[in-house]
Structure 1
Amino acid sequence: MIIKAAGTIIKALAAVPAHGARMSTAATRRAYRGPALFSFGFRPFYLLGALWSALVVPLWLWSYLAGGPDMLTRDWHVHEMLFGFLAAVVAGFLTTAVPNWTGRMPIIGAPLAQLVGLWLAGRVAMLFQDSLGPAAAGVIDSLFLLVFASVIWREVLAGRNWRNLPVCGLVTALAAGNIAFHLHGVTWASGVGERLALGVAALLIALIGGRITPSFTRNWLKAQGLAAQPAVFGLVDRAALALTGLAAAAWAAFPDARPSGVLLALAGLSNLLRLARWRGWATRREPLVWILHLGYGWLALGLLLMGASALDPSIPRTAGVHALTAGAIGVMTLAVMTRSSRGHTGRELHADAATTAIYLAINAAALTRIAAPFAGGGQQSLLTTSAVLWVLAFAGFATAYGPMLIRPRPARA
């Protein structure tokens, strides 16, 4: 049944003309008459990803601190945050953005519902992998990212959108990391899969976040009539992207090697310099914009801390990893989810009180999670505090943004 659904999605895509007109994206969406939830890719994936994230973290903490069910292992937690939650947000963003990049028909309606069904099947399979068996659970879970990668490749190639081929490569690397994670019989594979996924996340933030952060900043500053403008893309940006890619590859293969630590530190510094050129301080009056800068800052900090831990074993590796996960991934995903949800549903591009509270909660969650390994006897209290704040952030998103995600876009006056 699940494999049949995967084949149905691919066949539906194969029926899309190879050279759709640019207006086909808007025209197809206007003609859609099905449930609003499946009218845009961001709607189901953002909502389900947020709900799943808000569930996975407390389940893992319960297992870690109180000895919950055997299936809720550390590996399950890592897998579900990287290949469950993160994959859902990436899918929501790209199934919405790629049609705009290529001018081709969007994936909506039944094919989108089936793609979401594959993601849900993976979550169920991972929860019940003890009953299904690791091999069966791994096959079911791997289908979503493999099909999703084929979707992105198909659309970008058919639309001749060469600029975004690196995005296709990163989604494919995420799918490969997931498969490696499931190779339990190969002792090194799971660790490589985990680190590969973290590297993909860092590169996606550097690549996509590096586009939208200065772009949205520039638009907002112009609208406010302010003269300060972010620096245009140039040598610093290219160097930061190259160093981030090299550092991610080196760390995935050799996490404890000193050259990996040096590359990570250089990548962190270059991204910090890149961020400083975008004039984020000038956007302090609009949380919907400054949160992007803060999310990118977490990326730089995460790379620096990961590099420091590779160079000095006394610095816990988990501090850098969680600066990247709870910090960069947590903050940047919510920044993108809130902004794109508001923009694509016709809401004002301004952060209301609930959105600002979400931003404060996720940053506090990241800070307390990074502090935990340095806290000695207070570690459990900080872990619990971080988990509660994380749940408040993502459950808060589902509560505040869920209604606009499941309802039709309001008519303009």
Structure 2
Amino acid sequence: MAELPQVHEGGSAASRPDMNAFLSLGFRPLYIAGCGWALISLFIWIFAPQWIGQPLGGLAWHAHEMLWGFIATIAVAFLLTASATWTGFNPLKGAGLAGIVVLWLIARIGYLVGGEIATHIACASEIAFFVISAACLMRVMVKGKSRRNYGVPLLVLGLGAANALYLRAALDGDYVLLMRRFDLGMICMAVIALLIARRVIPFFSMRMVPGLALPMQVRSGQIQLAIGVIAIALGLAGLALPMAAALAAVGLVSLWQVARWKPLAVLHKPMLWILYLGYAAMGLGLIFAAWHTSGLATGVLARAAVHVHIIGMGGFAVLIIGMVTRTALGHLGRPLALDNSMLVSYYLMIAAVVLRLGALWPSSDSLWLLRAAALSWIACMALYLWRFVPMLIRPRPASPG
């Protein structure tokens, strides 16, 4: 797999912000938007929940904004960027890219403000965000004859469809159906994340560790993808036990892949082990999800919040903080090295995961642990934005010589 595309981003004065550079590839505005909203929305959820309007209020708002407002946004940002490498064509830039960012922003404001009109405008804007992104991805896949990636736009479209189903259940006030559709959206996102990560982790590792040779595991990846899609279909059909078996299989394949990637060889490279850790946590979370779906879990482990936070925070968020640093540095022509603030952001995210999972066990410390987890998360995202926004809004530095 080639490195992220070295697209000309306009302007030679890299010291000044440049709108052409900022809107040259999807990762630039959408990394800022997604990580910025991860910080803001969690602050609101934990410390100012009274600001959240109805009908998408309370837990329904928090779950939606974490999965579709943050995690899915970063995934779309990465795919809009990486697809330029896979196909040789940039799927979205300039005014078109600005347009989907505006749609994304309208959705965030509409859900927060609440009310019937604002919520329906937000729903329409968010559906348009996913549909346009999927259409642009498919256009360049076809144009570039990248047949092996034809499924990627369909998965993005599936993520948008799961979002629409979730919103419909929220507007209908059906909490049980809402949680089922959230799980489907999370599984759809997991399939996309596993697909992306199993391509980039071996590639990044072999580039950063001299002499390291890792198998790409194409066949196991194809099997994993197929079983993941089957799990989604079984969920839609309401077949809990077969769905649980499929989820367990996907999780086990994930853990097997991590073991095959020689994790001990990357322990001295934080930019790599953070990706390994996130991938392994996602596999473990899918196994817990299977346990929950089967109805066999008991006690605290029977709570959906356990597998949701293992996958959502331990898997998605840990992978994201690793990906948004590694891919931004690589594409922006910066040295692939972490400074202290980047490394601290990794540890803050890991601390947030541990504290949040600890808060799930009923005790007198649960509220304190929850708030500490939130503060660790907020500090992680703030550090990322402080370090990377100045780079993301400027052109690539000119190559020496």
Q: Shorter-chain TM-score: which interval?
A: 0.7 to 0.9
Of 311, 323, 337, the residue aligned with 1:336 is 323
CA shift digits 1:75-107 (9 cap, x unpaired): 111111122112321222122111221112452
Tell me the CA shift for residue 260 of structure 1. Answer: 2.7
Q: Which moved more, 1:300-309 or 1:133-142?
A: 133-142
Q: Deviations over 1:20-41 (max 9, x none)?
A: xxxxx86764589844321221
Match of 2:332 in 1: 345
Q: Percent identity?
A: 30
Q: What's the CA shift string for 1:232-287, capped at 9, x where partnerless?
A: 324443333333333344345548x3333333223222210111000121011111
CA distance in 2, matches of 1:27, 1:202: 29
1:193 matched residue in structure 2 = 181
Amino acid at match of 2:234: A
Q: Secondary structure at the match of 2:365?
A: helix
Q: Indicate whether 1:247 and 2:231 are aligned.
A: yes
Residues in 2 aligned to 1:404 and 1:28: alpha-carbon distance in whole angstroms: 15
Show CA shifts across 1:351-376 (max 9, x none). Answer: 22111111111111112222222243
1:317 to 1:27, Cα distance in 2 relative to 1, 3 A: closer
Q: Distance in 1 between matches of 2:116 and 2:234?
A: 37
Residue 259 (structure 2) aligns with: 276
Instruction: Give the one of 164, 168, 175 matched to 2:153.
Output: 168
Counterpart CA distance in 2 for 1:253 and 1:333 is 31
Equivalent position of 1:374 in the other structure: 361
Whole-angstrom CA distance in 2 between matches of 1:320 and 1:63: 25
CA distance in 2, matches of 1:158, 1:189: 39
Residue-pair matches, total? 382
Structure 2: 5+ residue stretches without partners: 13-17
1:328 CA displacement: 0.8
Post-superposition CA distance 1:131-178 (Å, at most 9, x none) = 625433322332211221221122212222111112111100011112
* C-alpha deviation, 1:330, in angstroms: 0.3
**Matches of 1:406 and 1:88, distance apart in 2:** 18
Of residues 314, 320, 323 in structure 2, which corresponds to 1:327?
A: 314
Evaluate the alpha carbon distance shift between residue 319 and residue 69 of structure 1 in structure 2; reply closer, same or farther with a 3 A threshold: same
Partners of 2:232 and 2:354 in 1: CA distance? 23
TM-score by length of 2: 0.88
Is the contact between residue 286 and residue 307 of structure 2 (CA under 8 Å) also seen in structure 1? yes
Amino acid paired to 2:231? A
User: What SS does the aligned partner of 1:374 have?
Assistant: coil
* Partner AA of 1:231 in structure 2: P
Q: In structure 2, which of residues 242, 249, 272 is the aligned counterpart of residue 266 of structure 1?
A: 249
Q: What is the aligned partner in structure 1 of residue 122 from structure 2?
A: 137
Is 1:124 paired with 2:124?
Answer: no
Distance 2:331 2:255 in 1: 30
RCO comparison, higher one (Cα < 8 Å, 6+) = 2
CA distance in 1, matches of 2:363, 2:234: 31
Structure 1 residue runs of 5 or longer lacking an equivalent are: 1-24
Alpha-carbon spacing, 1:152–1:69, altered in 2? closer, same or farther (3 Å): closer
Conserved 8 A contact 2:83-2:90: no
Aligned match of 2:15: none
Cα distance in 1 between the residues matched to 2:77 and 2:219: 31
Residues 34 and 392 (structure 1), Cα distance of their counterparts in 2 relative to 1, 3 Å cut: closer
Q: Which residue number corresponds to residue 218 of structure 1?
A: 206
**CA deviation string 1:37-61 (max 9, x = no partner):** 2122111100111111001112111
Q: CA contact under 8 A between 1:342 and 1:348: conserved in structure 2?
A: yes
How far apart are residue 340 of structure 1 and its match? 0.9
Q: Secondary structure at the match of 2:216?
A: coil
**SS of residue matched to 1:376:** coil
Task: Supply the distance in 2 between the matched residues of 1:186 and 1:70 (Cα, whole angstroms).
Answer: 14
**Do 1:319 and 1:371's aligned partners in 2 also have CA atoms closer than 8 Å?**
no
